[in-house]
Amino acid sequence: MKKTAVRNLRLCTKDCLCLYVCPTGATDTENSIIDTDKCTGCGDCAAACPSGAISMVVTHYPPQQQKNDDVKSILTSLAENRCRSERIARQLARKTDRPGEKKLLTAIAISSRLVAEDIMREAGFMLPQSRCTHELLEKILADPPQGFPAEAARKLLEMIEIND
């Protein structure tokens, strides 16, 4: 499987061994982001990095795990509730003028969204490259709600290839 190197800037300790071992100069960039056009995927930089800041990432992702319909259905109802929790918490946070309560409700709103995102990931929307993501975008584009950013959806359909 073809791979490409990526650097986690948070872990990079600038030991620069990647510069010494890279055969193409892909790791030598102004912004510290490895140049994917030059990277051959050899993995020498990841092996040499003493901080474990470079990982080798596949360029084509394997198909995501298939999900059972019952699992999708129950997880979707759970996500519906968590999204309602997000909405209520957000509205209450807007209304209150007590600073502590505002923070707590804001945190609960974001927390509810994070849980809902994770649930929907397990309900079949793990990879942007999945067929169901494409089908969802196409379905929305066929009859978009008013104000829907259709241009963004069209661009995504063009840019992301289906992998399953």
Partner 1 sequence: MKYVCTVCGHVYDEEAEKVPFSSLPPQWTCPRCGAEKAMFDPLEEKKERGNDGSTDESPEQGQGETKLSAGVLAAVFSNLARGCEKQYKAEEAELFAKIAAFYTSLSDDDDTDASPESLAALAQEDISSTYPAARKTAENKMDRGALRICTWGEKVTRIARSLLSQYRKGGEELLRESEVWLCTVCGFVYIGRKPPELCPVCKVPSWKFTNVEGGEM
Residue whose token pair is 């990841």: 46
CB–CB of 133/125 below 8 Å? yes
Instruction: Work out whether 57 is an interface residue with partner 1 (CB under 8 A).
Output: yes
CA dihedral (156, 159, 162, 163) positive or negative: negative
Among 9, 23, 152, 161, binds partner 1 (CB under 8 A): 152
Instruction: Work out whether 32 is an interface residue with partner 1 (CB under 8 A).
Output: no
Residue 24 or 91 having the CB closest to partner 1: 91
Residue 62 CB, shortest distance to partner 1, in Å, is: 13
Instruction: Work out whether 127 is an interface residue with partner 1 (CB under 8 A).
Output: yes
d(CA 160, CA 164): 12
Residue 124 CB, shortest distance to partner 1, in Å, is: 10
Site for partner 1 in 1-20 (CB under 8 A): 6
Residue 122 CB, shortest distance to partner 1, in Å, is: 5
CA nearest to 108, candidates 79, 84, 74: 84
The tally of CA atoms less than 13 A away on the side-chain side of residue 15 is 16
Our CA angle for 121, 127, 34, nearest 5°, is: 125
Residue 22 or 119 having the CB closest to partner 1: 119
Selected range binding partner 1 among 18-26, 42-50, 68-76, rule: CB under 8 A: 68-76
